[in-house]
Amino acid sequence: MTDDPKTLVSTEWLAKHLKDPDLRVIDASWYLPTEERDPKAEYDAAHIPGARFFDIEEISDARSSLPHMAPPVEKFMSRMRAMGVGDGHQIVVYDGAGIMSAPRVWWLFKLMGQENVAVLDGGFPKWLAEERPTEDMPPIPRDRHMTVRFQNHLVRDVTQVAHASKLGSPQIVDARAAARFRGEAPEPREGLRAGHIPKSRNVPFGTLLNADQTMKSVDESRAVFEAAGVDMGKPVITSCGSGVTAAVLALALERLGHHDWALYDGSWAEWGMFPTVPIATGDA
Amino acid sequence: MFETLKQQPADKILALMQMYKEDPRDTKIDLGVGVYKDATGLTPVMRAIKAAEHQLWETQDSKVYTGLAGDPAFGDAMIDLVLGDVVPRANIAAAATPGGTGACRQAFELIQMANPDARVFVSNPTWPNHISMLGYLGVEVVHYRYFDEETRGVDFDGLIADLKTAKKGDVVLLHGCCHNPTGANLNSSEWDEVIKVLLETGATPMIDIAYQGFGDGLDEDAAATRKVVASVPECIIAASCSKNFGIYRERTGLLMVVSADSSAQALNQGTLAFLNRQNFSFPPDHGARLVTMILNDPALRADWQAELEEVRQSMLGLRKQLAAELQRLSGSDRFGFLAQHRGMFSRLGTSPEMVEALRVEHGIYMVGDSRMNIAGLNAQTVPILAKAIVDTGV
């Protein structure tokens, strides 16, 4: 793969730059409740040297009833300042699954106007497999100011998605597993209907990854989207269960040069409980 | 002994109110005092306040003292309203005060106590009582450029240049929203620049937020305050409930001091309680209790927000109507700033002679610096005011 500090970097790249004074590493691990993993406890036990823990549940919009929605700008600024992450930093985000929740935090930084943010390809599992160094002490952060410019074009709400669903453009692409997309497997959150947003296409995020949890090449990724029936001539809205793995699709799209994408933050957690919006079941 | 006292300067606004009362003209318009008035010229008690008072009358079983810093529940509710969850609650010291004025006064005393050499930077112009209280306490005041007489917007370059002369140990007093008396406000990226200067100089910001909900909405009006608090290690915030809850005479306000960590918070909290003790022991409770009840009860809160939104929309409507009427009569866009301004006030930006002429010839009462209370208008009086402004040659 080609290292790109704005999208995806390899473990070799990170190892080489780990001591750069303006590099900030972030552990953005997050798991579904059913996985019974405690990301903070795992971070406390071992993380990439210097990494800060980014709590996706805490750094969110506390006033929303939906799970971990993007936080207000000011809250994001405040939390980043406390973490010592700010202007002039190159940020690298990883997670403990390989590539699962790290792209969500990559997206949050993009949403807040930060450009120099990359996901670590293969994440912590690959880092560990290569026997690279870890530590169990959190860094001592020094305050750093972050100038935030909210990028409206990178996020979509239910009204905009309903519009897209009706018109068939932008193309909605859903990152959930095929059985959930078809409405055959139960939703992990209670009270949600089963199925998908009408006229959406299904690209389960795992289909964009290799066996070692690294991202497939640009050409392979493009083929995955096309095979799922995604019209790559259209802008894309990515969606999933709660707006986490939708960011894996966004990252893949960004890498293959399809820059006209946005993420549906409410995702199925919102669409699935809205009685007024239609749902479809079965294949796309 | 009292023969040594000197005559204190009369409050110009209150004198103006008296003249208005004595004016026999039925086309007279009062744009003076800073109180919200509805289309009929009244300042009603908000519905949610009435409902909360009724509930309180039925359930309150004691009037015994609260804490020196007021009821902590009031602090929690107001911190949530003003700051959201931008900073951890454990980092915020808070004390109830007699109105926003009380919050400012206590803040100034706190500043003086922490650094007797502190200078306080205030916008030119600012709410006159800021300067008056600072002068009374003997705190050095530095004026930073703010209002651009030409554009009636913010002289941003002047503001930045002046704020850069602040240093660590100084305090920069900013209006969180709805600048009083001008109505001209910083936009979001200008706030970013101000924050950069604060971080460069190390000066401590103090934000006076007295009109939350009167400008662009409750969260929108608090956004600048939250952004500053999110970006700096220490910050003082003086909040008032007088206008947005319409409880002027209940004297309800909150002083907040945000610190970088919770150990500094304990010291700040103790100091705020001490300062309250020296000046009045316990802050007024009635208004604070009503506010707490409203903010914590979803139904009351929804009703309050709805009524506040009506108030906001009505002022916005009057601004647009006045700007449009002035454009029609004058044939120029030079009054467009009235629709851009936010909050209860706009500074017309004209000379004291013109203000005098408006009063004598047209029965239009505004403060000598040409501050107009937009809420003093209604749909019928807007054309009268517009005609008077154009006829007078403003």
Instruction: Say yes or no to pLDDT of B250 above 90.
Output: yes
């939250």: which residue's tokens? B226
Residue A180 pLDDT:
96
Domains (range + CATH), chain B: 11-45+310-392 (3.90.1150.10), 65-296 (3.40.640.10)
* DSSP letters for B303-368: HHHHHHHHHHHHHHHHHHHHHHHHHHHHSSSTTTHHHH--SSEEE----HHHHHHHHHHH-EE--T
From chain B, pick out residues whose CB is under 8 angstroms from the CB of A74: 84, 86, 223, 226-227, 229-230
Residue B17 pLDDT:
87
Q: What number is the ipTM of this complex? A: 0.78
pLDDT (mean) for A190-205? 95
Please judge whether A74 and B223 are an interchain contact, meaning their C-beta atoms are less than 8 angstroms apart: yes
pLDDT (mean) for B98-121? 98
**What is the average pLDDT value for chain B, to the nearest integer?**
95
- Asked whether the beta carbons of B213 and B245 are under 8 A apart, the reply is no
Domain total of chain A? 2
Cα pseudo-dihedral B154, B336, B243, B92, rounded to 10: -30
pLDDT (mean) for B349-368? 94
Identify whether A240 is a catalytic site residue.
yes
Instruction: Say yes or no to pLDDT of A203 above 90.
Output: yes
Counting one residue from A and one from B, how many pairs have CB atoms under 8 Å apart?
A: 41
B204 confidence band (pLDDT: 50, 70, 90): very high
Residue A275 pLDDT:
86
In a domain, A188, yes or no: yes
B41 confidence band (pLDDT: 50, 70, 90): confident
Question: By CA distance, what is A84's nearest residue in B?
Answer: B231
| Alpha-helix residue ranges (DSSP H) falling in B172-231 | 188-201, 218-231
In a domain, A1, yes or no: no
Question: By CA distance, what is A62's nearest residue in B?
Answer: B85
Q: Are residues A122 and A157 in the same domain?
A: no
Q: Are residues A175 and A242 in the same domain?
A: yes
- Residue A154: phi, psi to the nearest 5? -95, 0
In a domain, A124, yes or no: yes
Residue B11 pLDDT:
77
In a domain, A2, yes or no: no
Residue ending a domain, choose from A122, A150, A178: A150
Q: Are residues A174 and A210 in the same domain?
A: yes
Residue A59 pLDDT:
97
Among B177, B231, B258, the residue to mutate for chain A (most A Cβ within 10 A):
B231
B39 confidence band (pLDDT: 50, 70, 90): confident
Q: How far apart are CA B236 and CA B229, in angstroms?
A: 9
Q: Are residues A223 and A131 in the same domain?
A: no
Residue A33 pLDDT:
80
- Please enumerate in sequence order all residues whose Cβ is within 8 A of that of B373, keeping only pairs 6 or more positions apart, or say none: B30, B31, B32, B33, B34, B35, B37, B344, B345, B366
B10 confidence band (pLDDT: 50, 70, 90): confident
Among A58, A64, A68, A74, the residue to mutate for chain B (most B Cβ within 10 A):
A74
Residue B8 pLDDT:
86
Least confident piece of the model among A143-157, B31-45, B60-74, B142-156: B31-45
- Asked whether the beta carbons of A154 and A111 are under 8 A apart, the reply is yes
Q: Are residues A56 and A18 in the same domain?
A: yes
Q: Are residues A14 and A126 in the same domain?
A: yes
Question: By CA distance, what is A71's nearest residue in B?
Answer: B86
In a domain, A284, yes or no: no
B14 confidence band (pLDDT: 50, 70, 90): confident
Looking at chain B, the whole-number percentage of residues with pLDDT higher than 70 is 100
B239 confidence band (pLDDT: 50, 70, 90): very high
In a domain, A3, yes or no: no
Residue B196 pLDDT:
96
Q: Are residues A92 and A200 in the same domain?
A: no
Q: Are residues A45 and A67 in the same domain?
A: yes
pLDDT (mean) for A5-28? 97
Q: Are residues A193 and A85 in the same domain?
A: no
Residue B260 pLDDT:
85
């500053």: which residue's tokens? B228
- Asked whether the beta carbons of B364 and B387 are under 8 A apart, the reply is no
Can you give the residue range of the structural domain that contains A245?
A: 153-271
